[in-house]
Structure 1
Amino acid sequence: MRKFLLSCACAAMACMTFSTASFAQNTQVSQIFTQLSATPIVRAHFQQQKSLASLNKTFVSNGTVLFSKQNGVLWQIQNPVQASLIVTPKKLVQKTQRTFSQIEIDKSPYGSVATLFLQLMSGNEAALVKNFNVVSANYSPTQWNVTLTPKSSLFKKLFVRVDAQGQRFVDRIVITEKANNATRIQFSQHTTQPVQMMASEDALFKLAK
């Protein structure tokens, strides 16, 4: 009986510890996403490194990114090719000088992955928690980081883990994918100016209406 009571006590303590940790973790996540959602427009430069283990090769692209809380995310790739990638809650549009393509977000697994960036940069905690488990989260006003793992079978087929970190904004996202592949995106030179979208940016978002 004594061993049984001791086991029950240990189990209860473990549950209390787990609950406290989960609460603290949820609080940290809320603080992170409250900070991210506070700014309606953010512009930055980005460099993306896509590593394919099977080819032992890393592909690098760079350009600028615009996040608009009202509209979505606009990636303007400058190298190795020039292209615009527009991501909204409903559509994913790719445009070059000669080509144009679009897909409905809910009809493509890659469209769903594209919205991950939209959810992160907009501080959409509810959407992320719906699709991901929060493995760890740490927040301070000057530095934060969060690690996520996919919940849905769809996301589990595409990648293993997402690590994001930043200060006021998102500075770095690392997606660990299947077969030891990885995508790393580094953001720099963040600015909240100008506070209104330019006509050319607005025209691109209208393509995804």
Structure 2
Amino acid sequence: MKTKLFFSTLLLTAAAAAAQAFSPADLQAQLQKNQTVQGQFEQSRFIRSLNRPMQTSGTFVLQRQKGLLWQVQKPLEIKLRVRGDGIAQWDAKNRRWHGNGAGHAQAAQVKLFMALLGGDTAALNKQFDLRLSGSPQNWSLKLQPKTAVMKQVFEGIDVAGNGALIQKVELREKQGERTVMRFLAQQANRPLAADARAALE
């Protein structure tokens, strides 16, 4: 009798855990609670022909349904605005020197980047198989390409975060190179500076 009771309790516990499992839809709802996120980033690009990774750092502002402002400060100053319609780029003297007009592959990657940072797991699921593990407080998401375009570019993508903030993104490319981005000193739902608001309009 005690054995039957033990197994019944175990099955009920397992069923309750399954019902409360943390899903990609839950992650999307959690991340999209943030209307804005701003902070610092450090990016390392590992290229097979170089002994050491290429390092860049700076600040970023992400505004939901508007876009991303990515301001590289080291080793040189460049400002990029990433939106669903493409990428605009300015130099240190605020001269725009590269605009939109991306090809199909680049446009797909722009949309991917926005979906990643914006927590749009529904959009990601159209191009990747998603494997989410962990808890709402400490989670990791693995993306395996399933469309022809993404299979040509990526071996896979790993994303890790705490709560409603992404902490790290690693892009593993087909040719063996990879990019690691870490996000630091993040603040969610804080007012944006006037220049950031203007750049994202």
Shorter-chain TM band: 0.7 to 0.9
Task: Measure, in 1, the Cα distance between the counterparts of 2:83 and 2:104.
Answer: 14
**Offset of residue 117 of structure 1:** 2.6
Contact 2:37–2:62 (8 Å) recurs in 1: yes
**1:184 partner amino acid:** V
SS of residue matched to 2:125: helix
TM-score with structure 1 length normalisation? Answer: 0.79
Percent of aligned positions with the same letter in both sequences?
26
Q: Distance in 2 between matches of 1:146 and 1:194?
A: 26
Asked whether 1:150 is paired with 2:150, we answer no
Aligned to 2:116: 120
Q: How does 1:155-170 map to 2 (within 5 A)?
A: 155-168=150-163, 169-170=165-166
* Structure 2 residue 55 is the aligned partner of structure 1 residue 60: yes
Amino acid aligned to 2:111? T
Structure holding more helix per residue: 1
Answer whether contact 2:41 2:183 (CA < 8 A) is retained.
yes
Distance 1:111 1:199 in 2: 28
Structure 2 residue 100 is matched with structure 1 residue 100: no
Deviations 1:92-114 (A, max 9, x none): 11111244211245x34233223
Structure 2: how far apart are the matches of 1:58 and 1:100? Answer: 26
The within-5 A match list for 1:1-209 is 28-96=23-91, 97=93, 98-104=95-101, 107-134=103-130, 136-168=131-163, 169-192=165-188, 194-195=190-191, 197-206=192-201
The residue type paired with residue 102 of structure 1 is: G
Distance, in Å, in 2 between the alignment partners of 1:180 and 1:65 is 27
Deviation for aligned residue 1:198 = 2.3
Instruction: State the 1:125 CA deviation.
Output: 1.8
How many residues of Structure 1 are paired with residues of Structure 2 in the alignment? 181
